[in-house]
Structure 1
């Protein structure tokens, strides 16, 4: 009876670890939850632009509608691209701060060794 409970507990822990793994991986790469969503939206807009172009070239969409929709999609894509770039800059800034902190710690350790 106890062995069965231990096996059940072990299987539960393994399943939870497997299910929660993507959440841990995102944190380890330094990406916030917004980055994948922004990337997905940006790719969606690019796909809509490609589809719009195809529909216009085949005559499914009139010129007036094409130009208006294209302008909207380009504005949305540009806004998403700016947001992605700001996210990258924030991640890069964090990495720079961490690198400086690591260098300071290394220098302190070196000075301590010399002083000893």
Structure 2
């Protein structure tokens, strides 16, 4: 009975470790690359600006904001959103470029291994 309990606990412990490793894998990869936090920060800022634009539109339609303030704020938010969108696209291209270089390096390594084998 004691051996069965120990075996069950060891099995449960092993499954728990595997599940944690699987769940935490993306976090380890993102931290190792250092790419995701910059992209995520840009994405968060962009979504914040879109939310501010929606709120501004609602406030203007309900009469909470004068028309001249609405147009100035809208122009400012649109400029900020456009700049953030451009930065996101550049970040995507950079990440995509790094992925292409990494894929080329891996392909070359595989080719060299086949020649050496």
Alignment partner for residue 102 of structure 2, among 92, 98, 102? 98
Please give the TM-score of this superposition, normalised by the length of structure 2: 0.71
Any conservation in 2 of the 1:30–1:91 contact (CA below 8 Å)? no
Which 10-residue stretch deviates more, 48-57 or 100-109? 100-109
Alignment partner for residue 59 of structure 2, among 55, 59, 80? 55
The whole-number CA distance in structure 1 between the counterparts of 2:111 and 2:27 is 34
The whole-number CA distance in structure 2 between the counterparts of 1:37 and 1:44 is 11
Q: 1:37 offset after TM fit, Å?
A: 1.5
Please give the TM-score of this superposition, normalised by the length of structure 1: 0.71
Q: 1:30 offset after TM fit, Å?
A: 5.8
Alpha-carbon RMSD across the aligned residues, in angstroms, is 2.4
SS at match of 1:60: coil
Question: Which segments of 5 or more consecutive residues in structure 1 lack a partner in the other structure?
Answer: 1-20
The whole-number CA distance in structure 2 between the counterparts of 1:104 and 1:43 is 40
Q: 1:59 offset after TM fit, Å?
A: 1.2
User: Number of matched residues?
Assistant: 96
The whole-number CA distance in structure 2 between the counterparts of 1:25 and 1:56 is 44
SS at match of 2:65: coil
